[in-house]
Each structure stands twice: as C-alpha cells, then as structure tokens.
Amino acid sequence: MNDSTASTGTRVLGSITLVGFAALLLFGLVLSPADAAQGELVRMMYVHVPTAFVAFGAFTVTVAASVAYLLRRTEWWDLVAHGSAEIGAVLLAATLVSGMLWGRPTWGVYWTWDARLTTTALLFVLVLGYLAVRRLPLDRDKRAGLAAVVGLLLLPTTIVCHYATTWWRTLHQGPTIARADPQIDGLLLFTLVLGLAVFALLYVWMMVHRFRVLYLEHRVEDLGLDTAIAERRREASGALATPRPATGPVT
Amino acid sequence: MTDGWGYILTCYGLVLAALVVIVARSSQRGRKLARQVPEEQRRWM
C-alpha cells in the first residue's frame, strides 16, 4: 500500500527534476563562463531569474484559480490556488535572498528601496497575507471565498513588479531575456534557460504534491467532523435509551 | 569587483537547502495524512 502523496507520474517527474538540478549545478557553477560585466557573480542569476519567473507564474496560476473558484465554487480550484501560492512564496523568498546576496558585492548593499525591490517585497508581504487568510479559523467555504478575493490582488502586484524596471528608472537592471533581442548568448543563455526549465519542473512537481497534501488535509478534517457527529448522535441516542432515574416526592 | 564565490556558494546553498527542507517536510506531512485517510479517498494511487 502506498502511504504517501507520490504516484508513478510524480516519481518520474521528480527524477527528471533532480537530474535537471544536477545539470544546473554543473553548468551554473562549473561549465558556464564568467560574464564580461558581472564576472563570476552572474552565476547567481541562474537561480535568481528562474525563481522570480516561476514565482510570477505561480501567482498567475493562483489568480486564475481564484477566479475559477469564485465562478465555480469547487474544491479543486481552491486547492490549486492555495498550493500555487505556497510554492510561489517559497520561490519568491529564494528570489529575494539570491538578489540580496548578488546586490551586496555588486551594489555594495544587500537592500535598497529601488522600484523592483520594493514591489517584490510588497508582493512577498501580500502572498504571506494571503497564506495567513488561509489559516483563519472560519468555515471552509467562507475561508476559500475570502482567500480567492485576496488572491486576486496578486495580479496587479505581480504585473507592477514585473514591469517595474520598464516603467521606472531603477538600479535593478532591465529585462535581459524577456525581450526581442536577448542581452546574453552562448552558454550563459543556455544555463539561464536550463534554470528556467528546472525550476518550472520543480514547480509542477511540488504543485502536484502540495495539491494532494491539501486535499488530504480536507479529507482528514471531514473524517474528524464525521466522527464527532457520529459520537454526538451516539451520545444523544444513548441518553434517550437510558431510563431517567425515578424522582418521587420528597418525604 | 571580487570574484564573489562566497556569495555564490551561499546563494546556491541556502536556496537548495531551503527547497530540500520544504520538500521533506511536505512529504512527511503527506505520509502522515495519507495514513489517516481510507485508500479509496486517495484517488492518485
């Protein structure tokens, strides 16, 4: 018997992701050359950029699933929105940490209130707020509806964050690959695309597992409720069946 | 500019370690919950 959230599909996907990570480490830390402007520090871009891209994608999925939940009110969409936001939060945290570690030797500071950094921090706080709503002690449907409404706020914040370097003059560099003429080529571009593919695979793999974990949480909650209701019914029927003690006049 | 290998290795190390911990914890939680739910309700198996 399989007592986990794994299946044949997730095992295959997980194995491919692991091989992908091994390749990313090889290309990112060994095979790809240093950049003419950034030197060796460009290696952090192979983590920073993919985690940011995939986190933005994860929040887009959360928004789409929230809209679908508000229209259909089905558990499936609620779980997709929840799981995707959780993974997006983890990846965005990785984006922030890798960006800070890149900023210190490049800009001389870990953090500056640049438009891109500020909007990323706002997005992170917003997704933490969304996950906090998910923990509110409310009826499940009410909580899911409220979370779906809060989840919609991720869309404008993600868009502003993504276009911050285009709309404002920022210390953070502008688009490198998300443009018609990518600003890198050769092994650097290959490693960056490899990073994007590997983190996208990781997202899909984690998404399937998180969906199943959240689904199981709901089922355990339901079983707990069913048991409690059955218990109360047994108590009630027991109380009815038990003859009440005779109460005669006090002499 | 220094070559920055300390920052690079810290970056990779922190991100990978965090991912491993999160995946391990989620997997552990999945196993714990799966044992409490009847097999017919775990449709992926």
CATH number of the domain within which A161 lies: 1.20.120
**Residue in B closest to A100 by C-alpha:** B11
Look at residue B12 and tell me if it is in a domain: yes
**Residue in A closest to B31 by C-alpha:** A4
Angle at A135 between CA A148 and CA A52, to 5 degrees: 60
φ/ψ of A109, rounded to 5, equals -135, 150
- A206 interaction partners in chain B (CB closer than 8 Å): 23, 26
Query: By a Cβ cutoff of 8 Å, what residues of chain A touch chain B?
Result: 1-7, 21, 25, 28-29, 38-41, 43-44, 47-48, 51, 90, 93-94, 97-98, 101-102, 104-106, 202, 206, 209-210, 212-213, 216-217, 219-220, 223
Choice among A140-154, A156-170, B11-25 with the minimum mean pLDDT: A156-170
- A96 interaction partners in chain B (CB closer than 8 Å): none
Which residues does chain B have with pLDDT short of 50? 1
Higher local confidence (pLDDT), B42 or A168: A168
Please compute the mean of the pLDDT values over residues A112-127 and round it to a whole number: 95
Number of compact structural domains in chain B: 1
Number of compact structural domains in chain A: 1
pLDDT in the model for residue A251: 47
Q: How far apart are the first and last CA of chain A?
A: 67
Percent of chain A with pLDDT over 90: 74
Q: Does residue B37 belong to the interface with chain A, where contact is any CB pair within 8 Å?
A: yes
For the stretch A6-56, pLDDT in tens is 889 999 999 999 999 999 999 999 999 998 888 999 999 999 999 999 999
Average pLDDT, chain A: 91
For the stretch A225-238, pLDDT in tens is 787 788 888 888 87
Q: Tell me whether residues A101 and B1 touch, CB distance under 8 A.
A: no
Please compute the mean of the pLDDT values over residues A103-107 and round it to a whole number: 93
How many angstroms separate the CA of residue A103 from the nearest CA in chain B?
A: 10
Taking each helix axis from N to C terminus, what angle separates A140-152 and A115-133, rounded to the nearest 10 degrees?
Answer: 170
Q: Tell me whether residues B30 and A90 touch, CB distance under 8 A.
A: no
Nearest C-alpha neighbor of B32 from the set A193, A219, A14, A234? A219
Which domain does A92 fall in, by range?
15-175+183-237
Look at residue B22 and tell me if it is in a domain: yes
Determine the distance from the C-alpha atom of residue A231 to the mean position of all C-alpha atoms in its chain, rounded to a whole number.
38
Look at residue B14 and tell me if it is in a domain: yes
A27 CB-near residues (< 8 Å, 6+ apart): A46, A187, A190, A191, A194
Please compute the mean of the pLDDT values over residues A54-73 and round it to a whole number: 97
**B 10-29 residues with CB < 8 A to A:** 10-12, 14-16, 18-19, 22-23, 26-27, 29
Look at residue A211 and tell me if it is in a domain: yes
Token pair belonging to A129: 């707020």
Look at residue A214 and tell me if it is in a domain: yes
How many angstroms separate the CA of residue B26 from the nearest CA in chain A?
A: 7
Choice among A153-157, A161-165, A225-229, A233-237 with the minimum mean pLDDT: A225-229
Which domain does B24 fall in, by range?
5-36
Look at residue B43 and tell me if it is in a domain: no
Q: Does residue B1 belong to the interface with chain A, where contact is any CB pair within 8 Å?
A: yes
Angle at A175 between CA A124 and CA A88, to 5 degrees: 25
Look at residue B31 and tell me if it is in a domain: yes
What is residue B2's three-state secondary structure?
Answer: coil
Q: Which of B8, B33, B41 sits opposite A43 (nearest CB)?
A: B8
pLDDT in the model for residue B45: 56
Q: Is the pLDDT of residue A72 over 60?
A: yes
CB A25, CB B12: distance < 8 Å: yes
Global ipTM: 0.91
Q: Tell me whether residues A41 and B14 touch, CB distance under 8 A.
A: no
* Per-residue pLDDT band at A124 (split at 50, 70, 90): very high
